[in-house]
Amino acid sequence: MENRKARIAVVGSINMDLVVRCTQLPQPGQTILALESLEICGGKGANQAVAASRAGGQVVMIGRVGDDAFADRLIGNLNHYQVSTQAVQTTEQCSSGVAIVAVERSGQNSIMVVPGANGCLSPDDVNQHQTMITDSEVLLLQLEIPLDTVVESIRIAKTSRTRVVLDPAPAPHDWQSLLRQVKDTVNMPNPIDLICPNETEAAELTGLPVGNLGEAEQAARVLHAQGISNVVITLASQGSLLFDGQAAHHIPPFPITAVDTTAAGDAFAGALGVRWSETKSLTEAIRFANAAGAIAATRPGAQISLPSREEIQEMLTAAAHSSNSRINP
């Protein structure tokens, strides 16, 4: 591992996940008996912050919590994972963000998010802590906070050499409007360095089917043409596809048995940000991120499922040994 820690800034949501485990997700109008319920610290922003820290990064978090019973637990949990919470503010007379997560035995999930204090995270909040972004090598963003705040975060990042990695989740209905706002505010042709949607999100953003590698490449090319420098589409058991403006690259998956995919995408984004800061090879960074996402999917929960740097390296080493054994029996 490198001696220098990658400097990562995260602007995003902080939620308490109320997780319900069931044998299968209920159909509309159906009542089922679930297996158990859990309260787990989450939120896509906080998840990615923890993922980046666990993957070896030095991480600062910009966000908001409410003035309820969840707030201290949410901040304390980030501190536990060595994420700086200096820029996490408390919103008075407001609840913290809450996500209702239903997870079936196959690992598939259904999520409803109540933004709470996350909806109060403003461009002014980001400006107050802009040096945290400009001093970082990578800025991680998601879309569980107001879009004006996302745009302002990108603008600040582009005043320095900070790379912008956007996880476009939940996929916005006004994606084109968001892109126009980013371009008009930042005044650059390619202000977003990388986006990493999953296949469902990529389909929503482009209006194209994304069920296999060929379809993923077509969607990635469309997103690149919209002004995204690099597009990575995660395809679960099919691995990931990168389009870097020149060619498409398939980064294979790690074979696993999924238990809970809730935080797999966040594990991917956080690990990608760290490894991309450390190496000039984006394909190497994506392989590292694939391993992080695969490990997270084998465990229940959000932040508690996120792997350490050592665990990611162990999976990469084991896969390399397995590949060498097949080549040299």
In our burial notation (b when 16+ CB lie closer than 10 A, e otherwise), range 130-151 reads bebbeebbbbbbbbbbbeebbb
Of the candidates 167, 193, 260, 266, the residue annotated as catalytic is 266
Give residue 322's identity as a one-letter amino acid code.
S
Residue 244 a catalytic site member: no
302, 266 contact by CB (below 8 A): yes
In our burial notation (b when 16+ CB lie closer than 10 A, e otherwise), range 157-196 reads bbeeebbbbbbbbeebeebeebbebbbeebeeebbbbbbb
- Calpha distance 140→122 (Å, rounded): 16
Q: Inter-axis angle of helices 264-278 and 44-54, to 10 degrees?
A: 50
Which strand ranges, in their side-by-side order, compose the sheet holding 58-65?
A: 83-90, 58-65, 7-11, 138-141, 163-166, 192-195, 228-234, 240-243, 248-251
Radius of gyration of the chain (CA): 19
Per-residue DSSP letter, 230: E
Which two three-digit tokens encode residue 75?
A: 């901040």
Query: Taking Cα atoms as reference points, which of 75, 83, 79 lies closest to residue 51?
Result: 83
Give residue 69's identity as a one-letter amino acid code.
A
305, 260 contact by CB (below 8 A): yes
Strands (E), 262-328: none
Strands (E), 23-161: 36-42, 58-65, 83-90, 97-104, 109-114, 138-141
Catalytic residues: 266
